[in-house]
Amino acid sequence: MKVQVVSGTTTSTLATYSNVGTSSTYSQKTFDLSAYKGKTITLKFLMSEDATLQTSFVVDDTAVTTQAGFTGLAPTRVLDTRVGIGAPTAKLGAGRTLTVTVPGLPAGATAVALNVTVTDPTAASYLTVYPGGQPVPAASNLNYVPGKTIPNLVLVPLGAGNTVSFYNAAGTVNVIAALVGYYS
């Protein structure tokens, strides 16, 4: 029996087993599929029999287990309203929401870690960061007063299409966000 993994147009054999000279007991096998993280794969179990020896394999309780976790990245600026990265060059206004698509994430990403900074606020206010397409939650991620620059690390689930929204309660403020990692 061959155990194979198919990823795109590539087929790789994970293991080959034979029942020649073995006892008729069950055994458990484990394979590391971490090389295929973020990809869609197909597992194949191919069995063949020759004319002189009856072959019998039972494939039972097949499971694929994933280990979700955090992947850290070198900081990458995904939003800067001062210079037009990820959004037009303009401060975020009072009671306004800005939604950004986070680029460069692998399939299966569920949340991101962002270093979010507000700068040049014109009023005491707060910024809330939340999944794109969702209602604004009742909690803030950054609180600030006029003229101060305030950073904070924010962990936020992704909205549809890898989107994250930023809501400013009062005054105007520039918003900067750097992607420093993701969860999958």
Beta-strand runs (E) in the chain: 2-7, 10-16, 42-46, 70-80, 96-101, 111-119, 125-131, 142-144, 150-157, 163-168, 174-183
Please, which pLDDT band fits residue 105 given cuts at 50, 70 and 90? Answer: very high
Confidence at residue 111, expressed as pLDDT on a 0 to 100 scale: 94
- Across all residues in the chain, what is the average pLDDT? 86
**Collapsing DSSP states into helix, strand and coil, what is residue 34?**
helix
- In this structure, whether the domain defined by 70-183 belongs to CATH 2.60.120 is answered with yes
DSSP letter assigned to residue 85: B
Delimiting residues of CATH 2.60.120 domain(s) in the chain: 70-183
Confidence at residue 85, expressed as pLDDT on a 0 to 100 scale: 97
- What is the per-residue pLDDT across 27-37, written as a single tens digit (0 to 9) for each? 777 777 777 77
C-beta of residue 118 within 8 angstroms of C-beta of residue 90: no
The one-letter code for the residue type at 101 is T
Please, which pLDDT band fits residue 167 given cuts at 50, 70 and 90? Answer: very high
